[in-house]
Structure 1
Amino acid sequence: MTANESGSVQTLLSLHHTVLAGMQAGVPMPLSESVEFYARMQAALVDSSEAAFRDALAGDSEETGALLRLWRKQLTEWDYAAGAATDVWCAGTEARTDERRTVVFDRLGLEPATRKLLDTEIPVNKQAGPVVISREYTPWRGHSAPRGTDWYWPAYERYLRDTKGWSDDRVADLGEAAERVVERMADPTSAEAYQSKGLVVGYVQSGKTANFTGVVAKAVDAGYRLVIVLGGTLNLLRGQTQRRLDMELVGRENILRGTVETESDYADDRDWLRGRFLSHTGLPSERGGFDIERLTTRDNDYKSLAQGIRALEIEKREKSLPLYDPRNLDQAAARLMVVKKNKSVLTKLVKDLKKISGLLGEIPTLIIDDESDEASVNTTNPRRSGNAERTAINEKLSELLGLLPRAQYVGYTATPFANVFIDPSDSADIFPKDFLISLPRPKGYMGVQDFHDLDSHIPEDERTFANSNELAYIRSIDAAEEEDDDSSLRRAMDMFVLTAAVKVYRESQDPHVPAEAYRHHTMLVHESRLTADHRELKGRLLRLWDESGYTSATGYERLRELFESDLLPVSHARADGYAVPGSFDELAPYIGAATARIGGDLNPVIVVNGDKDIERGEADFERRSIWKILLGGQKLSRGFTVEGLTVSYYRRRAGNASTMMQMGRWFGFRAGYRDLVRLWIGRNESAGTKELDLYEGFEAICRDEESFRAQLAKYAVLINGHPQVTPAQVPPLVSQHLPWLKPTSPNKMYNARLMEVRSPGEWQEPTAYPTQSAALRHNTGLWAPVLEGLSSTPSDFAHREEATGRLHKFSALTGILAPHDLLVLLRSLKWGAEQQFAPHLTYLEAITKVTGQVNDWLILAPQHATGGKRAALTSDRTFSWFGRDRRRGPLFGAISEPKHRPAAHRIAGAFPSCGDTETERYVAERRGVVTLYPVVESEYRAAVTETGRLDPSRLVMAFSFIAPTSATGTDNKVVRFTTINSSDEPIIEVQSRGF
């Protein structure tokens, strides 16, 4: 590109900056006319035509890149726009759709060639946005009614893009999620005080802090002038949160407030010294904005204010008007404090606030509660304790909310079950009565599902490092072996050294490694919460390190074997383009540098547990680079981010899903080393052991969590413009896949109730079958006549998936059962955990007796293609049986086979026809499908093979069902609740089950 061409593009870039900034209220307007108008105004000597714009976009200069970034940012904003902001122009189109983009292009008046070019360079991001369960609310946000001063949100956006390197899509995702929160808070200028309460559900270590930083930025811009962030229960977490907010939102000028750099509380901070803290290029109040005054610092929690209460008092410019009047709000500085959830700290804050009681009713306040399911929830049993006092932190939160009638409470958590079990009728508590928002799983995030093969269609003997997450990332700890020789722990430590060497190798060889991706490299060892155990374990770790011989021939051979059998094949399959050493000899020169970073100071282990004798505050990821083995318990199991975590060794069990998930520190973002991640975890080593399979526990949690999120997404769809459910109706959506693993601690579940689960067209598979012989015999007796009455010859079923073209085929015996007959049978069944099937039974009763939305049930008994695994039951006739084993207690894992499901979905009306004649013969209006699986557990299979008969007292008659797709109920809602709150009144009135 010539200098003249570059100058033309630069001029065009300047014009487009002006044009897009000038589009009134953010509404897309005719582009060519606007560019031509500003070109005349500025006397710009440049071709302002649309063709010149296309030519500029197609170039390869730095100016072209800047022009493309400008349009990517603007188009993303229009693509994502929602709520009142779009009412005047979006023509009813949904955000993140091709239809929305078409409306934008139409309003811009773009030519087809320009549209095609922009769509190619800036495709619509169609990834799902946040899921919102909400009460009706009065919209007050949006361009049609601008409010406040846009200062901190634009600054935060710039920081994320320019300093942290976030993409436009990622920034827009964050902005959209933050907006969904702020728009459901009360208008800070409203004359009528309203206190909203909400909950935001993210994933463990997935960026919740970034989200609530965005919420704070938008809230203070809108007029909220007191922000209280409850930063966890530990000093470590509170300080971590304070620093993030100071660095990314508050900014240098608000921190310094006229003092010299060396007097800052961050004077020794590496990022402060390198200029990575946000800068406003001047005090905001002197540049048309407003200041944020910190009432806490990184090292100092909230303390009683000795200087009277001036720091909390907000001066009113117009004395005769209330503070919430815009003429006062827009001139006032905001106050920010990050406080620990500690009774004494919160007592000081409450006491100081009471001193300015006359002003409290006028202060728009935002309370952000990080890790809101910990300490904040009242765990007093209401039925046992009568009018007993609340638990300490919950009591102080209630006092705080009582003092601040304009306070908006927003809880953040990755484990929401404790919060949604709060009594909805307790107005003094923190139940999220106004909104519950589920954040989407971020791109690049490595969560629990990435360590499991959930519902994989790949047979176990065909799984590889490439197609199996379990094979790639999971390594089992054998408890019996470990007690004798620490073999698993040594192997985990060896992998920690090998992955460290690969990181050093990539630093020197791979230009694609993200900046500072390897600043930290850590291994987590988590066996116990007890500090006494940590002392013993630290000794074991130091001994293993000293005996490792990483620079000796013996150590090299051990590393070579692990490299060739584990690290190399996994990285070949999953390195995603990052450099991988071709052999151990190529990696070997980097091992010395890696071990020096880890143990060169003769201290390869850092303890993080609060024991001052052995913890020296060395796990400060902000102040220095850390390549260490981290050992701890409670401090490492909630909120605290273990940076650079690559190898985890985990054996600590917990009795509820919330606690276990919070201990999953191996979840998070692993840019540049995802293929190196390994998890050594306790498994169910032998029959009869008291040890629980921790890996199985995390899989169950994943299923519980995904079930919860999927149901929220389904129920978030509005019906006739109104919400299907409100947050008060959410608790029954919580499921439990393992009997020993409750969703949260028992003292947080006093208000949980069961519900009806409506599942039209969905495959449902009960798994909680009884273990007692009498119960099994009873169930077999109920199903035997149905099984014996099926067709004498099997029919062939097939269905081809539309998306993949994959053909699923099987043969099955068939029969028809009347709805009433099936209902009588199902009511009589015995269960190992009755509560698992009860909500489904309520639904089946309703569509049978109340709405009459099922005409009949097709019974399928799949038969094996080969002659094996066949046996007789009550007659000489033989049937196929299935070998399955329970995972824990009464619960099996998956019983059905994936190939059986598509044809059943088609017959029930959930899938379109693929043209298979035999399958289509069974399709009928209002027909459901029941699939039978006679299951024989491993200890009884030899007897079945020997005798050729199925023992009714040893047979599990398992089944799955799909209700007709049309069986939605009378009101087309997805759920009907039987949930009640402490007022003993139904949240939703339900129909009687006394049929």
Structure 2
Amino acid sequence: MAEPDENFQNIVKIVQVLLVADKDKSTITPALISEKIDLVILMNPQWAEDLDREGVIDELIRRNSQWIGQDTSLVSDVGHEDWLNSSRKQNWRYWQRYREWLEKKLSWKAIEALDKSSDSVLALLEDPTRTGRWDRRGLVVGHVQSGKTGNYTGLICKAADAGYKIIIVLAGLHNNLRSQTQIRLEEGFLGYETLTDRDIKSLLGVGEIDSDKEIHPNCATNRSNSGDFSKRVARNLAVSPEERPWLFVVKKNKTVLRELLKWIQNHAADTNLAASEGLAESHDDLPKVKKIVTKLPLLIIDDEADHASVDTQEQVFDAEGNPDDEHLPTTINRLIRRILHSFSKSAYVGYTATPFANIFIHERGETRDEGPDLFPSSFIINLAAPSNYIGPSKVFGLMNQEGLRSGLPLVRLVDDYATEDGRNGWMPQQHKNGHRPLHNGTENLPPSIIKAIDSFVLTCAVRQLDGQANEHCSMLVHVTRFNSVQKEVCRQVEEHIRHMRQRLHRNIEHEMILQRLKALWEEDFKPTSQAIRSIQPDQTSKGNVTWDDIQAALFDTISDIEIRMINGTAKDALDYDEHKGTGLKVIAIGGDKLARGLTLEGLCVSYFLRASRMYDTLMQMGRWFGYRPGYLDLCRLYTTAELSEWFGHIADAAEELREEFDLMVASGATPREYGLKVQSHPVLMVTSRLKMRAARDLWLSFSGQLLETVVFHTQVSIIQSNLKTTIDLLESLGKPTEANPERQTSKGTQKWSGFLWRDGTAIQVVDFLDGYITHPSSYKVKSNLIAEFIRSMNEVGELTNWTIALIGGGKLSYHDLNNEIRIDTIKRSNNGSYDAPYSIGRLLSPRDEFIDSDSKSWDAALEITKKAWKPDSGRLRDDKLREPPDVPNGPAIRELRGKGADGIKPSRDRGLLFLYLLEPSEKGAKLIEGTPPVVAFAVSFPGSTAGKQVLYKVNSVEWHQWEREYGPAE
């Protein structure tokens, strides 16, 4: 007899099929769903046993309320032949059984979107039956924890159906992630459990739908801790073109990839390289590409493609832009490229949520031994997220035109993990290996993590009472990268849970625990659930649980909670699978092993103190993004104010990057053009420089960019000097053109507090920038570099005229600029640590860039924004904002100024400089009393095709400063 869980899934799946068959899907109601349930039970009365009928209805209502965004693509058709049509897709059994398996878990809308999306990627690869040599390289960009694995599993199924014979999945750097990926591909593609003994194959996943052994793919790796590719595997492995496809799930590890390349050269390759492709003397100990595989088309899927795969060595190019073919790339990059170079028919698809480093790969990088670099020259696809995805834009919010941010009320700020100066305490930011976590001098947990654990206990209890007892529940504790410190934290958490368990079991000294939990329930959980239910009603708990219910379930709940350290072993990844059907309730304590790729099933509560400011690293650490069906309102993120601000800043930067992408898609640009555009992005410079730490030089163009100062000196003499430089500029400008500017738009009147000058010159702006002293840690904005760029643009007649805006907005009025100008200072909180400079998250409000425009320009920029816009839940603060935007975005405003539009001339001759005075008394600015305001500036550059660039150099001293400020590169 089928298990109750399986009955539930079967009924949901079949009822969904019946609902999809209805012509009018808008009339899907609980009554209609109940009617279809009755039909299904008539077919199989046994399924009615222990059926959670209300749960089936809730699940199908949730599924049918979803909507799916639209993917966007930048494509180059050079060397590509169209091939994928409906006739080629007939009788595709791998995809069909994967689709049927997904129907148990996903809505039909999500499955249709995945079908369409994976078709798009496959179509941009080559037909595996195409003769001759071909090579395609692409990048698929998803949102963090949004389902990239499901997307590439679909692609693998279709690629195998189409005729790709060798499929290699590069699955991270650690055993636990490789094992987790292997298990997921067993379920979605292989259809059987991979064990050391290959003769024993237990069916699972898609294998239970279609168990025909004639289509069982072969697999060279298994799910065990030692299941990666190795010499032992290579000795017993042989393939031929007639066999079923072969899957290799491997780590990005030098030893593993070397053995795989050896096997390809010694056992799979069938044709010697032509004399013209012969090799020079060996530069390293890695296997050389002496022969190629001509009969087996290759597909490489590179999961987390920005991590370890990118060549971080600087490649030299001559005056004509030709690469040095003797260049020696980094080892992992070298091996991946040599594997690709070993096949005459190959396709490479990278998957990542943080594509920054991939975009910085030189598009013409090539070497004799390795062939082309991994730049996604064929295509870049931005995957849209479904409406039930909870990502950075929802958790932390995006900056709107009024400069306000509105995220979900899930973040809880903590400040008791260290002493006020940040040097001591339970987990000071700069702690070292061997640190003993002490709170108030004792080996106790600080109150904030106790509250986080209490939140997890409450969440587990509510989910159990809501009918989700068999679902996984996880809590993440990520406070240190050192294993020795993690061990101490794990011990303290275990001790805390043991005491809670004992006191509740014996009813001794338990009143304090109950009182604490009840207060958290009444004061936090109930109002938060009510607030989120009004925003995301289809993702929240049922709302009918009382405190009495929770109290009755507490002991069983706490008894089920396990504490684990995540240390990179495969066992960590296997635990969820072993608890399938009962649900694992786990507090996972770890560091870097938790930071990338590894999914924590049913993650509810996170306690996160790590302070890396590298944009892609920090975003990848956000394991709490993803899908939270039926328990979103129960989720909590306990973190610092600084990290919360940084995540909001990253969300804004990532959104602007996608807006730039959309604009280029609308204009028909190629991946190469996008790469050149992104390489000068001021925010992404942090990632690019650290990911390419050996590259000392970078040519930058600031055209079409917005640059903001966010890091400032606290030395009074420098603050005074920058203020004097600003006063000199204002005095040279004379009387303002406008005071308190207003602009009429289709959205109403936009107003600013401040002054505007329209007749500034490049000389005046350059003098200001030459005189302004930026902080050494201001790697994104260097005033002298910007001044140099303006001079270079002046040579071609651009950026010769300037609009200067002095903008206020606070309550303190500063009177000493000159006799004409009095301005209000603005407030920006300090986000720096105790020994860091004064740093803020964001300076401009997005609407500020419109200060130099009129209603006609507003409408034209809005039209550009709308034309490029695609609905994507991963980029919305609120699903209620699904309609096209009603305000223009920054990239569209800058593009309009550079290109013009019907009836609007381009204004590439005009730049826009913003000046702000930051309030020195703002909390945390660390400025002494009587300090004058801190001058901040921003520059908005119109788009340009002039191609002018400036050289950005970094020396070794700056490297060390950079890494101290932003954290080590991965």
Deviation at 1:177, TM superposition (A): 2.8
Deviation at 1:521, TM superposition (A): 1.1
What secondary structure is seen at the aligned counterpart in 1 of 2:488?
A: helix
Deviation at 1:617, TM superposition (A): 6.4
Distance 1:153 1:941, change over 3 A: closer
> Are 2:898 and 1:956 equivalent residues in the alignment?
no
* Aligned equivalent of 2:341, options 381, 390, 402: 402
Residue 796 (structure 2) aligns with = 850
**Conserved in 2, the CA contact under 8 Å of 1:801 and 1:807?**
yes
Partner amino acid, structure 1, of 2:239: L
Residue 528 (structure 1) aligns with = 480
Deviation at 1:643, TM superposition (A): 0.6
Deviation at 1:580, TM superposition (A): 6.3
- The answer to which of 172-181 and 490-499 deviates more is 172-181
Distance 1:853 1:304, change over 3 A: closer
> 1:477-516 maps to which residues of 2 (within 5 A)?
477-480=416-419, 482=426, 483-484=439-440, 485=444, 486-507=446-467
**Conserved in 2, the CA contact under 8 Å of 1:457 and 1:898?**
yes
> Are 2:240 and 1:313 equivalent residues in the alignment?
yes
**Conserved in 2, the CA contact under 8 Å of 1:936 and 1:955?**
yes
**Conserved in 1, the CA contact under 8 Å of 2:810 and 2:827?**
no
Deviation at 1:845, TM superposition (A): 5.1
- The answer to which of 543-552 and 900-909 deviates more is 900-909
Deviation at 1:351, TM superposition (A): 2.7
Partner amino acid, structure 2, of 1:351: K
What secondary structure is seen at the aligned counterpart in 1 of 2:698?
A: coil
Structure 1, unmatched stretches of 5+, are 1-16, 22-51, 67-120, 267-271, 316-331, 508-515, 684-692, 915-922, 982-995
Deviation at 1:902, TM superposition (A): 4.9
Q: Deviations over 1:22-42 (max 9, x none)?
A: xxxxxxxxxxxxxxxxxxxxx
Deviation at 1:207, TM superposition (A): 0.8
Residue 895 (structure 1) aligns with = 843
Q: State the structure with bigger RCO (CA 8 A, min sep 6), 1 or 2.
A: 2
Residue 217 (structure 2) aligns with = 292
**Conserved in 2, the CA contact under 8 Å of 1:906 and 1:913?**
no
Deviation at 1:574, TM superposition (A): 0.4
Q: Distance in 2 between matches of 1:908 and 1:733?
A: 29
> Are 2:495 and 1:543 equivalent residues in the alignment?
yes
Deviation at 1:208, TM superposition (A): 1.0
* Aligned equivalent of 1:167, options 108, 126, 146: 108
Deviation at 1:754, TM superposition (A): 4.1
Q: Deviations over 1:424-447 (max 9, x none)?
A: 413424333333333223432222
Aligned length: 790
**Conserved in 1, the CA contact under 8 Å of 2:913 and 2:937?**
yes
Partner amino acid, structure 1, of 2:758: I
Deviation at 1:470, TM superposition (A): 5.8
What is the TM-score of this pair, normalised by structure 1? Answer: 0.69
Residue 354 (structure 2) aligns with = 415
Q: Distance in 2 between matches of 1:944 and 1:307?
A: 64
Q: Distance in 2 between matches of 1:679 and 1:137?
A: 48
Q: What's the RMSD between the two structures over aligned residues? A: 4.8
Deviation at 1:570, TM superposition (A): 0.9
Distance 1:725 1:435, change over 3 A: same
> 1:221-260 maps to which residues of 2 (within 5 A)?
221-251=161-191
Distance 1:562 1:874, change over 3 A: same
> Are 2:105 and 1:127 equivalent residues in the alignment?
no
Distance 1:499 1:900, change over 3 A: same
Q: Deviations over 1:524-582 (max 9, x none)?
A: 11222333223211221122223334562211111121112211111110034477687
> 1:295-444 maps to which residues of 2 (within 5 A)?
295-299=220-224, 300-304=227-231, 311-315=238-242, 333-353=244-264, 354-358=266-270, 360-380=293-313, 391-424=330-363, 425-427=365-367, 428=370, 429-444=373-388
Q: Distance in 2 between matches of 1:343 and 1:945?
A: 53
Q: Deviations over 1:598-624 (max 9, x none)?
A: 424xx6312221489x98964556645
Distance 1:572 1:799, change over 3 A: farther
Q: Deviations over 1:604-655 (max 9, x none)?
A: 312221489x989645566452012111223322211101111111223336
Partner amino acid, structure 1, of 2:695: Y
> Are 2:703 and 1:758 equivalent residues in the alignment?
yes
Partner amino acid, structure 2, of 1:490: I
Partner amino acid, structure 1, of 2:944: G
Q: Distance in 2 between matches of 1:61 and 1:936?
A: 60
Deviation at 1:798, TM superposition (A): 3.5
**Conserved in 2, the CA contact under 8 Å of 1:368 and 1:409?**
yes
Deviation at 1:819, TM superposition (A): 3.6
Q: Deviations over 1:352-399 (max 9, x none)?
A: 32223216222111111212233333445668x997965443343233
Over the matched positions of the two proteins, sequence identity in percent amounts to 26
Q: Distance in 2 between matches of 1:897 and 1:777?
A: 26
> 1:103-118 maps to which residues of 2 (within 5 A)?
none
Distance 1:890 1:435, change over 3 A: farther
Residue 118 (structure 1) aligns with = none
Q: Distance in 2 between matches of 1:405 and 1:277?
A: 31
What is the TM-score of this pair, normalised by structure 2? Answer: 0.70
Q: Distance in 2 between matches of 1:301 and 1:906?
A: 62
Q: Distance in 2 between matches of 1:123 and 1:215?
A: 26
Distance 1:123 1:897, change over 3 A: closer
Q: Deviations over 1:653-693 (max 9, x none)?
A: 3363333333222122111111111112245xxxxxxxxx4
Distance 1:673 1:842, change over 3 A: farther
**Conserved in 2, the CA contact under 8 Å of 1:239 and 1:298?**
yes
Partner amino acid, structure 1, of 2:201: S
Q: Distance in 2 between matches of 1:732 and 1:843?
A: 15
Q: Distance in 2 between matches of 1:211 and 1:223?
A: 19
Residue 916 (structure 2) aligns with = 933
Distance 1:352 1:796, change over 3 A: closer
**Conserved in 2, the CA contact under 8 Å of 1:341 and 1:393?**
yes
Partner amino acid, structure 2, of 1:660: L
**Conserved in 2, the CA contact under 8 Å of 1:301 and 1:340?**
yes
Partner amino acid, structure 2, of 1:340: K
Residue 604 (structure 1) aligns with = 562
Q: Distance in 2 between matches of 1:893 and 1:335?
A: 48
Residue 857 (structure 2) aligns with = 909
Q: Distance in 1 between matches of 2:615 and 2:770?
A: 32
Residue 825 (structure 1) aligns with = 767
Distance 1:150 1:907, change over 3 A: same
Query: Which structure: larger Rg?
Result: 1
Distance 1:163 1:887, change over 3 A: same
* Aligned equivalent of 1:563, options 521, 532, 554: 521
**Conserved in 2, the CA contact under 8 Å of 1:871 and 1:879?**
yes
Q: Deviations over 1:860-882 (max 9, x none)?
A: 4446698x514123448644333
**Conserved in 1, the CA contact under 8 Å of 2:808 and 2:916?**
no
Q: Distance in 2 between matches of 1:940 and 1:367?
A: 51
* Aligned equivalent of 2:212, options 283, 286, 289: 283
Partner amino acid, structure 1, of 2:936: A
Deviation at 1:931, TM superposition (A): 4.1
Residue 634 (structure 1) aligns with = 592
Q: Distance in 1 between matches of 2:79 and 2:165?
A: 22
> Are 2:817 and 1:873 equivalent residues in the alignment?
yes
Deviation at 1:125, TM superposition (A): 7.0
Distance 1:148 1:910, change over 3 A: same
**Conserved in 1, the CA contact under 8 Å of 2:294 and 2:343?**
yes
Q: Distance in 1 between matches of 2:765 and 2:589?
A: 55
Distance 1:894 1:388, change over 3 A: closer
Residue 784 (structure 1) aligns with = 727
